Structure 1
Amino acid sequence: MTGPEPDDAGDTRAVRRAVRVVNRQITVASCLLVVAIVAASALVVVHQSRPSEMLEPPDPGSHNFYVDTDLVLLALVVIGLGAIVFAAVISRLIAARAVRPLGQALRMQREFVADASHELRTPLAVLDARIQLLQHRTGPDDPAHDALDELRTDSRALIDIVNDLLLAADVGPAAPDAEPTDAADAVTAAVDALRVLADERGIALALAVDGPALVRMPPTALRRCVTALVDNALDHSASGSEVDVRVLTAGRHVRIQVRDQGSGIQGIEPDRVFDRFAHSDPSPGAGRRGGFGIGLALVRDLVVRHGGQAEVASTSGAGTTFVLSLPTVP
């Protein structure tokens, strides 16, 4: 019998976490309610433990019954504990049943994104190839040359978006026997590929590497993450500024830092930049957009699925620093 697909396993873990959160919240609320009821009942029992009726003779034909206070308090405690256990079990069942549709929705969403991305890749590739062919047939002096360049840029942007969607739908956890990747080499390759873009925008792109640092993450995925962070830094940097990339080894983790000199993250909470299609206010004098698309969301998904984390280490008017932290290979 085969196990679940990587994405299904990730969705299963997400659903289980949601069940635990809902179960914990319901259990805590139930416990507080039960404790409050038991405490109130105990106060009443203690307050009435020496009723004035005990000092008065009973009326003719009537009988008074008295209960041991200790026994009443013990019974209240037992009933309260039983109610707490019962509430915990019931909340677990209710949470699991309520969250089950979430897992089905996640699976359907991934299947739709993967299917749509696969269907779009071929026509987009053909469109891009035809645009390239037209570019070769038109000279620099042709009136349509600039328009074709813009079309090619747009087609490449669409292809990148489709690739990101497909990668976000298909990405799985790291294989335990996967070959280690030198983070320094992967980061260097990603930075070198973006130097042309940085030069065109008049932005200095600096790289500092401590030395070889092995991580259990495919080189393609790691390069994709670094490319997304550096590209984001370039988009939010003004001409004449600098984007600094560093690869540091800190204990059992490799830290990849990408720092820009933009105006910082504005109009949105820093942690929300990793949400899909999050938007911030554009940086004055910076690049072409104030949004993050799915690029940073994909970065977080990739890093988390390989045992690491992605975060905004700092952001201010002097710039923003993103940090990827990945466990090193023992």
Structure 2
Amino acid sequence: MDADALLVRRTAVRVGVWLTIAVSLLVLAVLAAGLTFVLTQVPLREVFDPSRHEEMVDVGGLDIIVGGVSIGVLAVASAGLLGLLATRRAVAPLVDALSRQRRFVADASHELRTPLAVLDTRLQVLERSLAADDPHRALVGELRDDSRNIINVVNDLLDSVDTTATGDAKPIAIRPVIDGAVAAMRLLAQEKQVTLETVAVPDDLAAAIPDTSLHRALVALLDNAVKHSPAGSVVRVTAAGDRRWTLISVSDQGGGISGIDPGRIFDRFARSSSTVDGGGSSSVGFGIGLNLVQDTVGRFGGSVEVTATSGDGTTLTLRLPRPRR
């Protein structure tokens, strides 16, 4: 049995258990009500002592109670079994959907590996062919960095569909990753006349997450902030930590979140109201980028949340687990 089928089966079992508990409580309530009614109509000593009756019924009070309990237990068991079967049948299509999703991501990522490797090799050859004082050498170096980042993203996507992964990660220093993400987004920010700043990031601050996954999450947050920032504004990245968590915040100076509950912006395909971007055009995303951020950091015990939003801007914060000592 593959991991998706096992996941769906476990979910069905949990739902079946909850249905059984609900039915059990209902049956117990009915039995308690029936018993209470009997005891209010017939004295308790007469229920369990038929000899006190002048006219006796062949079935004693204790037999009635035992019969009622037996019927209740049978009803609970039947309801639980039917609930389990119905739930498994209802969620069965999820197995196919999850399998299709994993196959698509794995196949697409695998097919991209070879052309990306070829591209990186050609850029490497081009870089070596340039003279040390060639003005294009720095640009080619940046292109190589971009190609390696894409290769790392593809590898990270393949890791994300590996259901045997434990979610544990080696500790990394977050400052170099933040600097790399800011550098990757600087050109796009300049085109929109938005300034990127890194503020108060301790050099020794670490987090338990792969650097590629953190890079992906930060690039997505920066991209979201730049899209919703007016020309001439600043997007700031700050970081801090406590005993358990490393916090990385990305703040913009846009118009804030409107038209949707801030907690729902991480839902897939969730959209907020149109916002005027730095170029003066209307920008509405498809609600996928922030959902991917949530999925990416969630695999390693982290989370992302809106920590502030108003007419003066919005702050999104990554909460990442600190390395274990």
The alignment partner of 1:267 has SS state of coil
Match for residue 200 of structure 1?
191
Equivalent residue letter for 1:239: A
- How many residue pairs are counted as aligned between the two chains? 283
Match for residue 182 of structure 1?
173
Tell me, yes or no, if structure 1 residue 35 matches structure 2 residue 28. Answer: yes
**Cα 1:267–1:168, aligned 2, differ >3 Å: closer, same or farther?**
farther
Equivalent residue letter for 2:175: A
**TM-score scaled to structure 2, two decimals?**
0.70
From 268, 280, 293, the counterpart of 1:276: 268
Equivalent residue letter for 1:207: T
From 282, 291, 297, the counterpart of 1:303: 297
Tell me, yes or no, if structure 1 residue 315 matches structure 2 residue 309. Answer: yes
Equivalent residue letter for 1:232: N
**TM-score scaled to structure 1, two decimals?**
0.69
Match for residue 46 of structure 1?
39
Taking the aligned partners of 1:263 and 1:329, their CA distance within structure 2 comes to 36
Tell me, yes or no, if structure 1 residue 210 matches structure 2 residue 202. Answer: yes
Given that 1:168 and 1:301 are in contact with CA atoms closer than 8 Å, whether structure 2 keeps it comes out as: no
Match for residue 212 of structure 2?
220
Given that 1:281 and 1:290 are in contact with CA atoms closer than 8 Å, whether structure 2 keeps it comes out as: yes
Equivalent residue letter for 1:303: V
Taking the aligned partners of 2:323 and 2:233, their CA distance within structure 1 comes to 35
From 228, 233, 241, the counterpart of 1:249: 241
Match for residue 224 of structure 2?
232
The alignment partner of 1:245 has SS state of strand
Cα distance, 1:65 vs. partner? 1.6
The alignment partner of 1:194 has SS state of helix
The alignment partner of 2:265 has SS state of helix
Taking the aligned partners of 1:275 and 1:319, their CA distance within structure 2 comes to 20
**Cα 1:18–1:166, aligned 2, differ >3 Å: closer, same or farther?**
farther
- Of stretches 191-200 and 117-126 in structure 1, the one that deviates more from structure 2 is 117-126
**Cα 1:23–1:163, aligned 2, differ >3 Å: closer, same or farther?**
farther
Gapped runs of 5+ residues in structure 2?
A: 45-49, 119-145
Taking the aligned partners of 1:310 and 1:321, their CA distance within structure 2 comes to 11
**Deviation per residue, 1:32-73 (Å, 9 max, x gap):** 43133213322331233159xx9xx97xxxx54276656645
Cα distance, 1:28 vs. partner? 4.1
Given that 2:167 and 2:299 are in contact with CA atoms closer than 8 Å, whether structure 1 keeps it comes out as: no
Q: Percent same amino acid at aligned positions?
A: 43
Equivalent residue letter for 1:47: T
